[in-house]
Structure 1
């Protein structure tokens, strides 16, 4: 009898693992690809800057403000967009987001003045609002909290992979297409890198399913197993209503924590090519190749940290320690500005830490937010945090114009990462560690 019970438990566990593996292979590679295109269109302005500023006679301050103003539009429309996704379904809403941002990103080829630069970057933020928190919300429709950290890490490796792919690709486009049909390389960069987003947006309509119940590629038994996994965690959810998310103090604490992490993310995202070029690398393609190193290392680290977090059922320190590592890496990079090897090494440490903290952070909010509160709360945290995407590049650009150095700006970002590490540890561990 004991043998029979044990055999049944093993068979059930095997069936469960097979079902989640099936879901993961169906969803994660595709969502990962979408995120690669999203992040590439968001930060390719960092590579365009290598030619764009001299062509258009823009200052570092103009660039920093234009790069950052994206997040103002993003902030304003983030919560409404995520609530719309929760109400109307992920398939249509994610498709709408991808197609509209692709069109606007391609329109960057028409930039002639600072005002046009600001307007298009703002509209790009409006178009993309809701994409990332929408995907985080979408994953809660399929995976329970006990599996979500590793899955979120796999999805978010889209950020470093966008760097691994996008760095050499962007450098190659800048060099190879410069002057073709009378267009400078930076215009070709915006045009060519927007096309995959538009195409993939239409694919979303045919490929994604809004919920488990509508997935024709799952059997009735598999659907029941997945629904049971989600139901088992419902008793831990503290907040369900959208209004409850806005009044929950933990949502605001996590917003402050995320702000510090995003200061680091876009410090790297918008300035990494510039920092590598400043170390003595002159060719755009070589700059692109060297950006592969920090992003490649971060991709491996993100998956490893996610596995460790799920295995140990520990979330807070898996955010705090990488954030501290990111701060150390950024600060160290200021001491070796003319040494390419040491500069890339320190920036690799920074990128590993920042992206490691970022991917683990998103295992925390869904642990106590459910239903409409998850849609509103995740979007609120992401929108408030992403205001750092405005502050970070503008601050570094302004300081660089003022001091002719990025050092002080990088120190400010490092301090923000240390603050994020301290803030996340104030969240009670019983709320998130499961």
Structure 2
């Protein structure tokens, strides 16, 4: 969870840097939106190849490589001088991080049985709101407190300070992680045997097809669309939340950082409660559909706030909590409907849909804000509509196939 926490901080800290970076470098909303989004182009094209390499060389080595490289590129973002260098470094950051999240999901699927997976995935996804809970206030403070210290602006310090821990964690993973339970010297022989038996019992529940065969599976493509909707909704909020709070009158960068932590704090409680409930009742569909609809409602409420800060904050809180909870529940499904041979590539393909949503949503919001009257409202209403379509797609899965 700690590794994914820093992955998410390094992915979206540009949303806080934008508040002073855009002024220093004369970036329009369209330039910022495209720079935030181009991360996902590199992420998209390298996602499946990266996870197929992970399947060959093992999670320990490949996840460590990913963390070290993205941490270095995140730190290097302090050298941005204009639009071109901004676009290049954001693209390279996406290339470096490709495969990390589905790699973690694959790793956890190997280690944990399905009956525990709801809580395990909930704990992992809690890294997202925790990153906001910590990263928001820290980012706001860095922008204000370290501005012009050592000749660097606040946003330059932000990228340096928040990127370096990922390099250290990547090095640590080389020594701590084990690819499979069989390699874990801290487990007794009996524990290792029991874990092997559990996995042998679980995977025959679904056909073991190759990744190529899985591409013909309707279930894989339905999961991919659902995750596209979640990615568009969540990342559309994440990359524009500080700006929305600032425009609603939140005040200083530090104040914006503190206010942005509130939706994430609420999300942690909801995610863990939903994860426990999903495992307790062995029910996945409604535990996914209801949070998606709550997230869509939150986005609409933020749009309809009339610029009132309190209403914007309530809407953003519902949006972030609903979509974050849906993401946690969502990741219990692939292991139930995809065969073991298709799992690594299937997880990567599904997560690639997040890249498409992550590219489309932030860029569309920025472009519409610059070129269309009330364009921000149009974009956010569209995100809510996409989420509703995602919820409808979830209902096409048979309850017996996913409620386990």
Assess same fold via TM > 0.5.
yes
Distance 1:48 1:405 in 2: 23
Task: State how many pairs are aligned.
Answer: 403
Matched, 1:309 2:278: yes
* Candidates 180, 184, 196, aligned match of 1:227: 196
For 1:428, the equivalent position in structure 2 comes to: 398
Distance 2:97 2:403 in 1: 31
> CA offset at residue 245 of structure 1?
2.1
For 1:256, the equivalent position in structure 2 comes to: 225
For 1:152, the equivalent position in structure 2 comes to: 121
Partner deviation per Cα, 1:8-33 (whole Å, 9 max, x = no partner):
xxxxxxxxxxxxxxxxxxxxxxxx10
> CA offset at residue 240 of structure 1?
3.1
Q: Determine if contact 2:130/2:264 at 8 Å carries over to the other structure.
A: yes
For 1:104, the equivalent position in structure 2 comes to: 73
Distance 2:402 2:202 in 1: 12
Q: Kindly report which structure 2 residues correspond to 1:123-272, keeping only aligned pairs within 5 A, or say none.
A: 123-272=92-241
Matched, 1:87 2:56: yes
Tell me which moved more, 49-58 or 229-238: 229-238
> CA offset at residue 370 of structure 1?
3.1
> CA offset at residue 337 of structure 1?
4.2
The runs of 4+ residues in structure 1 deviating greater than 3 Å are: none
> CA offset at residue 189 of structure 1?
0.5
For 1:322, the equivalent position in structure 2 comes to: 291
> CA offset at residue 116 of structure 1?
1.1
For 2:328, the equivalent position in structure 1 comes to: 359
> CA offset at residue 158 of structure 1?
0.2
Distance 1:352 1:43 in 2: 17
For 1:20, the equivalent position in structure 2 comes to: none
When the two chains are superposed, the root-mean-square deviation of aligned CA atoms in Å is 1.1
Distance 1:249 1:114 in 2: 40
Q: Kindly report which structure 2 residues correspond to 1:10-49, keeping only aligned pairs within 5 A, or say none.
A: 32-49=1-18
- Structure label with greater radius of gyration: 1
TM-score of the aligned structures, taking structure 2 as reference length: 0.98
Secondary structure in structure 1 of the residue aligned to 2:215: helix
Secondary structure in structure 1 of the residue aligned to 2:111: coil
Distance 1:243 1:338 in 2: 49
Distance 2:287 2:376 in 1: 29
Partner deviation per Cα, 1:330-380 (whole Å, 9 max, x = no partner):
000112243222211111111111101111111111112233300000100
Distance 1:66 1:248 in 2: 34
Q: Which runs of 5+ in 1 are unaligned?
A: 1-31
Tell me which moved more, 166-175 or 218-227: 218-227
Distance 1:287 1:224 in 2: 51
> CA offset at residue 43 of structure 1?
0.3
